[in-house]
């Protein structure tokens, strides 16, 4: 009987240790998800809106020397605000980071604020 109890106790103990190693601190997970969802913001002027394709084309503003236009996919609640903005509006865009972003830097035409903008998740008009 004692020979059966010792190995059984060892199995239970190893299961508890394995479970404890996989458990995460919930506050750390919340912080990571808030960072991922916060996104980057940029100021821009609306050049064109395609409600069917859910895209916007903008020119960066707020101290940018790059006057080129960029087209971004719009998703989530930002897609519903496409009907409230028009060409020429000055807006603040919040972007969702993307994994397949082009490198930023001189000569690439991509600035650090745009480098990982996979999609626009929020659009708000600026005065």
List pLDDT tens digits, range 49-91.
999 999 999 998 765 566 788 999 999 999 999 999 999 999 9
CA distance 71 to 121: 14
Cβ atoms of 99 and 84 closer than 8 Å: no
Q: How many domains is the chain partitioned into structurally?
A: 2
Residue 87 structural domain: 39-125
Same domain, yes or no: 14 and 48: no
Same domain, yes or no: 65 and 81: yes
Same domain, yes or no: 58 and 99: yes
Same domain, yes or no: 68 and 25: no
Same domain, yes or no: 53 and 27: no
User: What's the confidence (pLDDT) of residue 93?
Assistant: 93
The answer to whether residue 94 scores a pLDDT higher than 70 is yes
CA distance 58 to 120: 11
User: What's the confidence (pLDDT) of residue 4?
Assistant: 64
User: Is residue 112 helix, strand or coil?
Assistant: coil
pLDDT in tens, 77-88: 999 999 999 999
């Amino acid at each position: 009987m004692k020979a059966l109890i010792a190995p059984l106790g060892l199995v239970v103990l190893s299961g508890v240790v394995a479970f404890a190693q996989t458990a995460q601190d919930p506050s750390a997970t919340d912080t990571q998800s808030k960072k991922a969802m916060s996104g980057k913001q940029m100021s821009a002027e609306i050049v064109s809106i395609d409600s069917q394709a859910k895209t916007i084309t903008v020119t960066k503003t707020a101290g940018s020397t790059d006057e080129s236009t960029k087209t971004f996919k719009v998703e989530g609640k930002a897609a519903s605000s496409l009907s409230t903005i028009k060409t020429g509006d000055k807006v603040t865009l919040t972007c969702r980071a993307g994994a397949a972003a082009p490198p930023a830097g001189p000569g690439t035409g991509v600035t650090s604020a745009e480098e990982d903008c996979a999609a626009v998740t929020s659009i708000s008009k600026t005065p």
